């Protein structure tokens, strides 16, 4: 065993006659990689054999599709499973399948290392089976660092650079690993000679606090505000107490990007909730009325949901200086980690203003919005109102629950009805907005925290994409979890409803059945085939009892909820033009026209009527 690999401890030790694959696994272990998500194939046989030789100290999680491996590697970091996510896939089709999940990690700034098998070096360039130009294929997703292993002596420096770059830049890196080299004898200690490298696996320090003068300028900008708004994103996740303290000091209302949901306690009256297309009306009003804006760890891209340019003086904090000043014309940009930067800012701000009319207005708007959401959830539907499922779940969520959310109408109902508490963990595909992310996220979260309950919120479109297949993965592993509770809610409305509403409100065209309608699948029965538990909801009277049973079950549960496809999903700022186009879609013979009218478009729109700001 070489000296450079003993830093990981006995669990990362190399076997007596190590191969290149053994060396890769051992060196990755020294960087904190102990779990690999993937699917086997002959292009990675050397690596899976090396994992087997660790006798369980490194864990291979076999998913049903390589796309899931990419999503799960991203979620592994998001849910605190480790500092780095890792996906291991075979050559050709496996490498191609992986890309979508890796782009989720890249766009959400999660450090992930992809290990991709490749054609044997002796066959490269000959048109061999599954031979794909992987360096070209991965050039974008792994732009920060991408390399092919061509010699055993490269392992140490390639693994070190891939891990260090992924962590430092919070992005995806990839190593292309030809099959024949994986079984070559390892070279743990490259020669001290020309053309070789002696690299370190010691972690790099990270930037912490911006210069004092810049912090002082930020405090001067914010101190003069009478109506302060904060926008927090995933960069603030480690600074919950500091976000609360600075919000109190500034008398601010706080809106959250979806990836920053757990940075605040959503039960607080000054927390307005999600911002953006699926956000809340109070968050829209917060931004519309503020005169100061503090952005912490967020790069939410919908520019129309920020204040009008010139309306508010703004400060932004982000660990990555390249992300500053991209969405709003900020005056002071502070490059630093959220927690120590906020602490430094607190020291400069001085005492707070105490209770203000602005904060009281924010609280009033938030309270009114929540009452409206309660009323909307209780409205009758055909057969079940999807908002009722989320509103009722919110009242029953365990304090330590893990939440995994898919892209679509489920995202909207989650953003508007689930009041995330500090002890919870929740995430989703926040920037790629990919359907099919929730089940891989749920699996990864459960492996990171097998002793905590989990709830996955999924639409029927996403469930049909990969959810029904990954339920097989749940069935494979659930008995190994200390807490078997793994609840999957499927909103079964037989419609790609989010896209249908986009077509109505932006195109003025009715729902297109050939494109939008989905087969009606008995998801609960599929769960029972797999030895899990299934529940069917086709009446609102069943909702509360089903949630109670599911959240106390002794095994994973799939809830097949038959919900109304005509349930109105409106943005917090529903324009006259959007209303006109939606009405035009109904008049043009939308197949859901009766349901839309029955659901009360006029009365629902009235709840979005702008409030007059108190001066």
Identify each DSSP E strand in 63-164 by its residue range.
85-89, 112-118, 146-148
Residue 306 and residue 405 in one domain: no
Lowest mean pLDDT among 84-93, 187-196, 446-455, 534-543: 187-196
Residue 473 and residue 508 in one domain: yes
The C-alpha angle 358, 362, 367, rounded to 5 degrees, equals 145
User: What letter does residue 163 receive in the DSSP assignment?
Assistant: H
Alpha-carbon separation of residue 585 from 109, 277, 498, 510, 589 (angstroms): 38, 20, 15, 4, 7
Instruction: Tell me what pLDDT residue 13 has.
Output: 67
- Residue found under tokens 């989720």: 104
Residue 358 and residue 388 in one domain: no
Residue 256 and residue 316 in one domain: yes
Which 3-state string (H, E, C) describes 166-189?
Answer: HHHHCCEEEEEEEHHHHCCECCCC
Confidence of residue 150 (pLDDT cuts 50, 70, 90): very high
Res 252 pLDDT > 60: yes
Instruction: Tell me what pLDDT residue 595 has.
Output: 61
Sign of torsion over alpha carbons 388, 391, 396, 398:
positive
Cβ atoms of 297 and 439 closer than 8 Å = no
Residue 354 and residue 390 in one domain: no
Residue 415 and residue 508 in one domain: yes
The pLDDT of 118-132, averaged and rounded, is 89
Sign of torsion over alpha carbons 452, 457, 462, 468:
positive
In whole angstroms, what is the distance from residue 299 CA to residue 28 CA? 31
Instruction: Tell me what pLDDT residue 568 has.
Output: 76
In whole angstroms, what is the distance from residue 458 CA to residue 453 CA? 17
HSE value, Cβ hemisphere, 13 Å, CA-based, for 588: 14
CATH code: domain of residue 334: 3.40.50.1220
Q: Number of folded domains in the chain?
A: 3
The residues that bridge with 292 in the sheet, in sequence order, are 228, 313
In whole angstroms, what is the distance from residue 52 CA to residue 39 CA? 14
Per-residue pLDDT of 374-405, as tens digits, reads 998 999 999 999 999 999 999 999 999 999 99
The pLDDT of 441-465, averaged and rounded, is 98
Query: Measuring CA to CA, which residue among 67, 83, 86, 45 is closest to residue 174?
Result: 86
Q: Give a yes or no: residue 193 inside a domain.
A: no
Per-residue pLDDT of 466-486, as tens digits, reads 999 999 999 999 999 999 999
Q: Give a yes or no: residue 7 inside a domain.
A: no
Instruction: Tell me what pLDDT residue 610 has.
Output: 46
In whole angstroms, what is the distance from residue 478 CA to residue 403 CA? 17
Instruction: Tell me what pLDDT residue 596 has.
Output: 57
Res 607 pLDDT > 60: no
User: What letter does residue 573 receive in the DSSP assignment?
Assistant: S
Residue 235 and residue 302 in one domain: yes
Q: Give a yes or no: residue 4 inside a domain.
A: no
Helix locations, 483-568, DSSP H: 497-502, 513-516, 523-529, 543-550
In whole angstroms, what is the distance from residue 95 CA to residue 528 CA? 33
The pLDDT of 6-21, averaged and rounded, is 66
Cβ atoms of 19 and 46 closer than 8 Å = yes
Q: Give a yes or no: residue 587 inside a domain.
A: yes
Instruction: Tell me what pLDDT residue 577 has.
Output: 59
Res 430 pLDDT > 60: yes
The pLDDT of 532-556, averaged and rounded, is 98
Instruction: Tell me what pLDDT residue 8 has.
Output: 37
Lowest mean pLDDT among 205-214, 277-286, 458-467: 205-214
CATH code: domain of residue 77: 3.40.50.970
Q: Give a yes or no: residue 322 inside a domain.
A: yes
Residue 74 and residue 138 in one domain: yes
Alpha-carbon separation of residue 303 from 276, 281, 299, 308, 324 (angstroms): 9, 16, 10, 9, 14
Instruction: Tell me what pLDDT residue 499 has.
Output: 77
Residue 425 and residue 479 in one domain: yes
Per-residue pLDDT of 25-75, as tens digits, reads 999 999 999 999 999 999 999 999 999 999 999 999 999 999 999 999 999
Per-residue pLDDT of 154-207, as tens digits, reads 999 999 999 999 999 999 999 999 999 999 999 999 999 999 899 999 988 877
Instruction: Tell me what pLDDT residue 3 has.
Output: 37
In whole angstroms, what is the distance from residue 518 CA to residue 490 CA? 13
Confidence of residue 602 (pLDDT cuts 50, 70, 90): very low
Helix locations, 79-125, DSSP H: 93-107
Residue 216 and residue 80 in one domain: no
Residue 398 and residue 343 in one domain: no
Per-residue pLDDT of 404-429, as tens digits, reads 999 999 999 999 999 999 899 999 99
Q: Give a yes or no: residue 614 inside a domain.
A: no
Please say which residue of 144, 168, 183 terminates a domain.
Answer: 183
Q: Is the peptide bond before 264 cis (omega within 30 degrees of 0)?
A: no
Per-residue pLDDT of 285-318, as tens digits, reads 999 999 999 999 999 998 999 999 999 999 999 9
Residue 523 domain boundaries: 379-608
Q: Both tokens of residue 171?
A: 């992005």
Instruction: Tell me what pLDDT residue 205 has.
Output: 83
Lowest mean pLDDT among 207-211, 222-226, 299-303: 207-211
Instruction: Tell me what pLDDT residue 7 has.
Output: 35
The distance in angstroms from the start CA to the end CA of the chain is: 72
Query: Measuring CA to CA, which residue among 448, 529, 503, 329 is closest to residue 75?
Result: 448
What percent of the chain lies above the pLDDT cut of 90?
79
Q: Give a yes or no: residue 6 inside a domain.
A: no
Helix (H, G, I), strand (E, B) or coil at 393: helix
Instruction: Tell me what pLDDT residue 247 has.
Output: 96
Residue 328 and residue 397 in one domain: no
User: Would strands 332-335 and 313-318 be described as parallel, antiparallel, or unpaired?
Assistant: parallel
Q: Give a yes or no: residue 196 inside a domain.
A: no
Strand (E) or helix (H) holding 46: helix 45-52
Average pLDDT in the chain = 91
Helix locations, 320-467, DSSP H: 338-349, 357-378, 386-394, 409-417, 438-448, 460-462
Q: Both tokens of residue 574?
A: 């529903």
Per-residue pLDDT of 346-366, as tens digits, reads 999 988 887 889 999 999 999
User: What letter does residue 237 receive in the DSSP assignment?
Assistant: T
């Amino acid at each position: 065993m070489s000296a450079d690999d003993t830093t990981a401890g006995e669990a990362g030790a190399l076997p007596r006659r190590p191969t290149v694959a053994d060396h890769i696994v051992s060196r990755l272990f020294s960087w904190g990689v102990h779990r690999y998500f993937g699917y086997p194939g002959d292009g990675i046989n050397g690596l899976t054999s090396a994992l087997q030789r660790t006798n369980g100290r490194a864990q291979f999680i076999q998913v049903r599709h390589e796309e899931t491996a990419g999503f799960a590697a991203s979620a592994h970091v998001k849910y605190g499973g480790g500092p780095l996510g890792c996906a291991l896939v075979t050559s050709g089709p496996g490498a191609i399948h992986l890309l979508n999940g890796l782009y989720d990690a890249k766009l959400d700034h999660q450090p992930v290392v992809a290990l991709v098998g490749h054609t044997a070096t002796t066959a490269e360039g000959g048109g061999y089976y599954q031979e794909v130009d992987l360096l070209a294929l991965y050039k974008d997703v792994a732009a920060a660092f991408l390399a092919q292993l061509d010699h055993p002596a490269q392992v140490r420096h390639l693994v070190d650079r891939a891990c260090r770059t992924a962590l430092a830049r919070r992005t995806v890196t990839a190593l292309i690993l030809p099959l024949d080299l994986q079984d070559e004898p390892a070279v743990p200690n490259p020669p001290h000679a020309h053309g070789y490298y002696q690299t370190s696996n010691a972690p790099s320090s990270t930037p912490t606090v911006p210069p004092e003068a810049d912090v002082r300028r930020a405090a001067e900008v914010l101190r003069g505000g009478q109506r302060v708004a904060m926008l927090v994103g995933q960069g603030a996740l480690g600074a919950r107490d500091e976000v609360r303290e600075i919000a109190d000091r500034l008398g601010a209302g706080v809106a959250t990007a979806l990836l920053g949901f757990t940075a605040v306690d959503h039960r607080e009256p000054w927390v307005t909730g999600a911002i953006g297309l699926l956000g809340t009306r109070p968050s829209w009003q917060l931004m519309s009325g503020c005169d100061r804006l503090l952005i912490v760890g967020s790069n939410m891209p919908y520019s129309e949901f920020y204040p009008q340019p010139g309306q508010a003086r703004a400060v932004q904090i982000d660990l990555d200086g390249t992300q500053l000043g991209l969405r709003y014309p900020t005056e002071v940009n502070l490059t630093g980690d959220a927690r120590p930067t906020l602490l430094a800012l607190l020291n400069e701000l001085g005492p707070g203003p105490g209770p203000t009319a602005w904060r009281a207005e924010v609280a009033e708007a938030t309270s009114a919005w929540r009452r409206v959401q309660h009323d909307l959830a209780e409205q009758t539907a055909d057969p079940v109102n999807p908002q009722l499922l989320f509103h009722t779940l919110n009242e029953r969520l365990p304090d330590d629950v893990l939440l995994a959310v898919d892209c679509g109408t489920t995202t909207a109902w989650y953003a508007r009805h689930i009041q995330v508490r500090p002890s919870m963990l929740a995430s989703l595909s926040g920037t790629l907005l990919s359907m099919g992310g929730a089940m891989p996220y749920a699996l990864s979260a459960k492996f990171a925290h097998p002793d905590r309950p989990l709830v996955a919120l999924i639409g029927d479109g996403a469930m049909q994409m990969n959810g029904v297949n990954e339920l097989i993965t749940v069935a494979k592993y659930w008995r190994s979890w200390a807490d078997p509770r793994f609840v999957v809610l499927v909103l079964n409305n037989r419609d790609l409803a989010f896209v249908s509403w986009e077509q109505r409100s932006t195109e003025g065209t009715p729902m297109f059945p050939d494109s939008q309608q989905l087969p009606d699948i008995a998801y609960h029965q599929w769960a029972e085939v797999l030895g899990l538990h299934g529940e069917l909801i086709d009446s609102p009277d069943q909702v509360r009892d089903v949630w109670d049973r599911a959240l106390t079950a002794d095994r994973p549960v799939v809830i097949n909820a038959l919900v109304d496809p005509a349930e109105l999903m409106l943005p917090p700022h529903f324009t006259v033009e959007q209303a006109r186009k939606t009405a035009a879609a109904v008049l043009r013979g939308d197949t859901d026209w009766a349901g839309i009218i029955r659901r009360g478009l006029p009365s629902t729109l009235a709840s979005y009527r702008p409030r007059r700001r108190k001066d």
